[in-house]
């Protein structure tokens, strides 16, 4: 029992420093925004933009964790490295990017987070119920 709680605590710490990536279309530019799970911006994180495994751009995000980029390629991969093993990658076609507000996106992500927490607690309850049944 103690081991299970310890393992679940360690797993929860893994998501504490998760790096998120949000990409939106701003006119002809692509706006890249990266932030940590707690909502703070990924300041001065390394940004790589690739096309077919070829590095097109290597730069840093600004103080707000934002970078504006005008792409001449249709298929790109965006990689944000926050150092310490915190990396996020996203591949997409330029035509598939839609204009979306970051505040709405974060709110939706927060709602999904609560749903995942409730689902995780439900699974733990089922696990303990089954464990109790087998112990009898």
Express each pLDDT in 4-21 by its tens digit.
566 565 555 555 568 888
Q: pTM here?
A: 0.63
Q: What is the 3-state secondary structure (H, E, C) of the chain?
A: CHHHHHHHHHHHHHCCCCEEEEEEEECCEEEEEEEECCCCECCCCEEEEEECCEEEEEEECCCCCEEEECCCCCEEEEEEECCCCCEEEEEEEHHHCCCCCHHHHHHHHHHHHHHHHHHHHHHHHHHHHHHHHHHC
User: pLDDT (tens digit, 9 = 90+) per residue, 34-69?
Assistant: 888 777 888 888 998 998 888 888 999 999 888 888
């Amino acid at each position: 029992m103690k081991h299970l709680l310890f393992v679940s605590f360690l797993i929860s710490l893994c998501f504490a420093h998760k790096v998120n990536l949000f990409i939106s279309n701003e006119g002809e530019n692509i706006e890249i925004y990266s932030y940590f799970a707690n909502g703070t911006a990924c300041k001065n994180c390394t940004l790589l933009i690739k096309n077919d495994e070829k590095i097109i751009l290597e730069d840093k995000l600004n103080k707000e964790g934002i970078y504006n980029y005008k792409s001449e390629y249709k298929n790109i991969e965006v990689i944000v490295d926050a150092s310490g093993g915190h990396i996020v990658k996203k591949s997409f076609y330029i035509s598939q990017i839609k204009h979306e507000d970051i505040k709405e996106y974060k709110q939706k992500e927060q709602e999904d987070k609560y749903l995942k927490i409730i689902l995780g607690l439900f699974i733990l309850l089922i696990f303990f119920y089954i464990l109790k049944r087998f112990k009898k």
